[in-house]
Structure 1
Amino acid sequence: MADSGTIFLGMSVGFFGSTQSIAMVLYRGSMAYFNYVNAQGGIKGQRIAIRARNDSYDPDPALASTIACTRNEYVLCLFDYAGISTVTRLVPHLKAFSQDQICLFFPFSRPQPQRKLPYMHYVYNLRASHHQETNHQGGDGVVFVTVRDGHVISVGDWSAFEQ
């Protein structure tokens, strides 16, 4: 957090590349809410701002952006990261940021590494994991999805075929 009366959140996502649409939705949705909060006076008088960087959904630039955010831009936390490859590349490095008490909030990613020791103490997940989503379907946790012309037409439990 800077002395300017602004709470800065660090964000590195693929504003260009295969995750562009997800990145834009995450950024715009977050900014819509933060603009609302800021219009109400912020949090104890402090505005919320996102310091967003493009990593083109590439793990190495994502890590470099994250290091720059945490070391040079004085962000309070990391926020709204998206994608398996960038989040799983970043997670082992979160331990190094722990001296500054910097955590990752609400990554749009479902893999397990950020949900297990030793990393789970540094990540606050909003979305369910792959394992949680498939187990919610019932059965043995393995599901199948049928897609036709880009549309999901059926979802089922794999155990139905084992009988």
Structure 2
Amino acid sequence: MDLEDELNRILRDDRLDIPVRTGAEWSVVAGARRRRQRNNMLAASGSALAALLLVGGGVVLVNHQPERPLPPAAPPVVNSTPIPTSTSADLPAVPPPHHPPVQPPQPPYRPRPPQTSEEPPEILSTQTTAPAPTTSKPTQTTQPDPTTSPNATTQAQPPPPAQ
């Protein structure tokens, strides 16, 4: 027997077959479905988180108030007096030019919080009193006078005689 015949005999042997259990195809399909659902849920969650971060970053950028720029620094004071040396003793001394003093920059205006007093505020209250009791009797309704009532004249007239 040669190598090819021996290989064919081993591959056709039923003892090397792996039995497939019932429903194996359905379990593979169900596993693939679960994996797709999980991937879709992860993608949706990641998208929602990214959108939330973008909106939050936009809100932070809109509400961010930049710092006020610093006022310019005071110019340096330079004295233009010459340094006395031993050779310049015979030259007349020149007084330094008069410069007005440099004012330091004013700090930016910041409103102060309102002053609070140590004593508590007064409580305003109004008091009402009960009305005085009435001493008169309640009015009684009476029957209208038929002679003064406008409807009484139309009711009191006899019907015209029939001809």
| TM-score exceeds 0.5 | no
Q: Which has the higher contact order (CA 8 A, sep 6+)?
A: 1
TM-score by length of 2: 0.15
Task: Kindly indicate which of the two structures has a greater share of residues assigned to helix.
Answer: 1
Task: Kindly indicate which of the two structures has a greater share of residues assigned to strand.
Answer: 1
TM-score by length of 1: 0.15
